[in-house]
């Protein structure tokens, strides 16, 4: 029995030593694989054609080339819109020549005089042409220094065309108030100058 056990122990020890030797030999024999990522990137750079358009990931970022294309289009559209707006702004009696323009009779109540005013001339300019000291400041429809009240009844815009006035609301216009610096006549009327709402 003793002999059998010794043989068994000897065999076990031999196996253990073999396993340890194998383990150590594997650990010391490992070498890293070659890094080919740079090679792959270079190969891809050669094989993928250049494009004018951003790739999907670039688009996802947003502000790059993907934004540039519609931005150009928007610019052109914007230019067109601006042009349209300019055209709309320019369309009005102020564009008419003196020969084309109709003439209307405006009674300046405080000045005690009725004046013939062409439709391409403002109520303010017509008064100044008479030599009157008319109130004004900006001359662009952006204050109320030049305001007056049309007393012929009804809305001021039944009698004048405003060139982009920004100060009077609908109620004030309804009460006959007008900004004389941007008011072009389109009918006969009576006005009290120097009257602000
Ligand atoms: S002067 Fe300013 S609105 Fe006429």
**67-93 pLDDT per residue, tens:** 444 444 444 444 444 444 444 566 889
Give 165 Cα–ligand 1 centroid separation in angstroms: 9
SS (H, E, C) 5-26: HHHHHHHHHHHHHHHHHHHHHH
- CA end-to-end span of the chain: 128
**118-146 pLDDT per residue, tens:** 999 999 999 999 999 999 999 999 999 99
User: pTM (2 decimals)?
Assistant: 0.57
pLDDT the model gives residue 3: 53
H runs (alpha helix) in the chain: 2-29, 37-47, 56-61, 65-90, 123-129, 170-174
pLDDT the model gives residue 124: 97
Q: Say if ligand 1 is within 6 A of residue 146 CB.
A: yes
Give 167 Cα–ligand 1 centroid separation in angstroms: 9
- The fold of the 103-193 domain, in CATH, is Ubiquitin-like (UB roll) (3.10.20)
């Amino acid at each position: 029995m003793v002999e059998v056990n010794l043989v068994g122990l000897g065999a076990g020890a031999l196996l253990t030593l073999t396993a340890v030797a194998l383990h150590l030999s594997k650990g010391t024999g490992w070498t890293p694989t070659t890094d080919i990522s740079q090679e792959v990137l270079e190969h891809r750079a050669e094989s993928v054609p250049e494009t004018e358009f951003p790739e999907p990931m670039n688009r996802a970022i947003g502000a790059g080339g993907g934004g540039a294309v519609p931005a150009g289009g928007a610019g052109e559209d914007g230019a067109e819109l601006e042009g349209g707006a300019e055209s709309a702004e320019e369309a009005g009696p102020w564009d008419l020549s003196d020969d084309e323009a109709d003439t209307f009779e405006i009674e300046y109540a405080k000045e005690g005089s009725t004046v013939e005013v062409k439709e391409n001339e403002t109520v303010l300019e017509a008064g100044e042409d008479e030599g009157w000291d008319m109130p004004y400041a900006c001359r662009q429809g952006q204050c109320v220094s030049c305001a007056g009240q049309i007393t012929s009844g009804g809305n001021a815009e039944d009698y004048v065309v405003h060139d982009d006035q920004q100060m009077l609301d609908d109620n004030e216009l309804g009460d006959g108030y007008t900004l004389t610096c941007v008011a072009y006549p389109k009918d006969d009327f009576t006005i009290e100058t120097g009257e602000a709402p």
